[in-house]
Amino acid sequence: MEAQQDQSFAMKILKFLFGALVASLTLSIAGMELFGWLLALCSFGLVFLNLRKSSKGESFLAGRKSLALGPDWALWTLWVVATIGVTINGNDKTDYVDVIGNFRWIILLYGYYLAWSLVRPTYFKWLFWRVFAPLLLLVSIYGIVQTFTGIDLIRQGREVHSLTLAQVQLYRASGFFNNPMTFAHLFVMWFCVVLSLIWLGGEEMTSVGGRAWLNFKQRSFLILLAGVIGIALLCSLIRGVWISGTVATLVMLWLWRRRAFYRGAMALAIAGLLAFATLPPFRARVSSIFSTQNIENRDRITLWTANWEIFKDHPIVGIGYTENERRIEEYYDRMGVVKGFHGHAHNVY
């Protein structure tokens, strides 16, 4: 009886943390960090407590839970190589704890997997339809409204990032984040998730008793959701996300059905050409990708060149994760660059 009460209480904690984390995925980086770590640590703690109780015959978590994710060797090899790289090539200004600690997300993955395996699958279905999907829709609509108004409900008095294209002033959709890139890079992933559900959700799957995952209403809602997210991503004006979202969509279509791929590629090409021909701001933004007169493009080319030099100097284990950002000035000096852009490699293209 006591073991059942313990299990019920533990599941309530995990469900709450999972719900808070899922909500944060659409709203807040700080929330992701907070609830992500709480969820992972809670999962580890529950398994450890269960092991102690199991030795006394008082186990309250049914079933044996494995920690294996699948590509474990790849994850740990990545961390080890990055650690070796910064250990060998770091200098007296290197923050070794910060560089090595950047891979803490690997620990989080194990915590998430444990939590996922401990909670019943039906809860995640409820969480998706009652929390995640509605928030995706609302935040995407909010981002679209931001594009034409510049309104930021959280940071009153400070408009979101503005950009004038073809003499039209627009504001880059940011959602509830403080940067349009954060919003766009997160939501393009959720866009791909929704697309995969639309395409696979109507098919008969043996894992769910040969039934389709989605009924007509659910599928229709997801199609609407994908459309709204797609518009919000366009409104972010983040070119790297436009490119990555298009490529990801085509790759998924290719893996799903070849005929769908050809139709999808043709539809995207026609839509892109129509938008390019009829929407001056879109045309200006797309054209800027290839413009050598654009200062941002010139800065990126210089930055890529410097990072390529870093790679050539340290091709095996690297210079240390994120160390390229801090030490880029050394390579600018070597290249004779007087004033170069500082930051990550900007390789999202």
Query: In sequence order, what are the residues at sequence separation of 6 or more whose Cβ sits closer than 8 angstroms to the Cβ of residue 40?
Result: 107, 108, 110, 111, 112, 114, 115
Residue range 199-244, pLDDT digits in tens: 887 665 444 444 556 788 888 899 999 999 999 998 888 888 888 9
Say how far apart CA 85 and CA 90 lie, in whole Å.
8
Q: Distances in Å between the alpha carbon of 223 and those of 170, 193, 194, 244?
A: 26, 12, 8, 20
Residue range 252-263, pLDDT digits in tens: 999 988 888 899
**pLDDT for the residue numbered 199:** 86
**pLDDT for the residue numbered 348:** 45
**pLDDT for the residue numbered 317:** 83
Say how far apart CA 82 and CA 99 lie, in whole Å.
9
**pLDDT for the residue numbered 54:** 60
Q: What residues of the chain score a pLDDT lower than 70?
A: 1-7, 50-69, 156-160, 163-168, 202-213, 346-349
Query: In sequence order, what are the residues at sequence separation of 6 or more whose Cβ sits closer than 8 angstroms to the Cβ of residue 90?
Result: 96, 99, 320, 323
**pLDDT for the residue numbered 66:** 59
**Which amino acid is located at 88 in the chain?**
I
**pLDDT for the residue numbered 347:** 58
Q: Distances in Å between the alpha carbon of 310 and those of 278, 300, 319?
A: 43, 15, 7
Say how far apart CA 307 and CA 347 lie, in whole Å.
10
**pLDDT for the residue numbered 134:** 94
Say how far apart CA 12 and CA 136 lie, in whole Å.
24
